[in-house]
A = this chain, B = another copy of it.
Amino acid sequence: MSPTREDYLKIIYELGGRVTRVPNKEIAMKLNISPPTVTEMMHTLVSIGWIEYVPYRGSMLTEVGVEEAKKLIHKHRLWEVFLVEHLGYSLEDVHDEAEVLEHATSDTLANKLYHFLGKPDYCPHGGAISFNKIEEQDNEAIPLPEVGKGVRAQILRHVNEEKLLVYFKNHNLSLLDIIIVKEFDKSLDLLHIYNETNGEDVYISEKTSHYIFVKQVD
C-alpha cells in the first residue's frame, strides 16, 4: 500500500473516523490539498476496503480500516521510542523520521521492535503503543472543545505535528497538565483556558484546540 493512502487513512483515524463520519473538507485542510483530490482518494480507499463513504457526508473507517490505522500508529510510535531512547533524538525531531519509517515497516519487524524496546506503553508524546491501549486511550480521550465549561480535564495527547508542538509549547501547555476551560469567544476564535498545573491563564485558537485530546478528571 502506498504511503499516500496510508497517510489519508491515519488522518481519518485522527479526525475521529472510528466513531464519526469525517467530512472531506477537514481532510483537505489537514493535508493542504484541493477537495476534489480528497473525493477521488475516498473512492480509492473504499475500493481497498478501508472506509465506508457516503457522498456529501464524509467517510468512516471500516473494521479493516481501523486495524490498518492502528498498525500505522503503533509502528510510528514504536520508532519514536527507538529514536529517542536509543539514538538520542530530541522530541521535536522524531516525528518526521517516524513518519517515513512507519511506511517501511513490516508487521514482523514491528513485532520484533516492540519486544526489543521492552513492550513500551507510551511514545514520547504520550500516545499509547499497544493495540489495546491505543483503543482504550482513543475511547477516553475527547477533543478539548468538547469538554464543558468549568470542567477539569487532563491533557492526554495531541496530534503529532511539528507546528502544533511549537504552538502548545509557546502556550505552556504540556502533556498531563490539568486544565479548566473557562470561556470561548466565538468571534475571536479564542478559548480561554486556566492551566491548573502551572497556574497560568492561556488563550488558544478554538480551531487548533481540536487537536488536543483530554480526559475529564474530578
Contacts and interface: CB of A to CB of B under 8 A. Distances in A.
Interface of A: 83, 86-89, 97, 100-101, 103-106, 108-109, 112-113, 116
| This protein's copies in its complex | 2
12 contacts: A83-B109, A86-B116, A87-B109, A87-B116, A88-B112, A97-B106, A97-B108, A100-B104, A101-B101, A101-B104, A103-B104, A104-B104
A86 B85 CA distance: 14
A89 B112 contact: yes
A83 to B, nearest CB: 8
A137 B112 CA distance: 32
A83 B83 CA distance: 15
Contacts of A113: 87
A179 B105 CA distance: 39
A189 B101 CA distance: 43
A108 B83 CA distance: 11
Given A103-B104, A104-B103, A104-B104, A97 B116 contact: no
B100 A112 contact: no
A77 to B, nearest CB: 16
A113 B82 CA distance: 10
Contacts of A105: 101
Given A83-B109, A97-B108, A100-B106, 12 more contacts: A86-B116, A87-B109, A87-B112, A87-B113, A87-B116, A88-B112, A97-B106, A97-B109, A100-B104, A101-B105, A103-B104, A104-B104
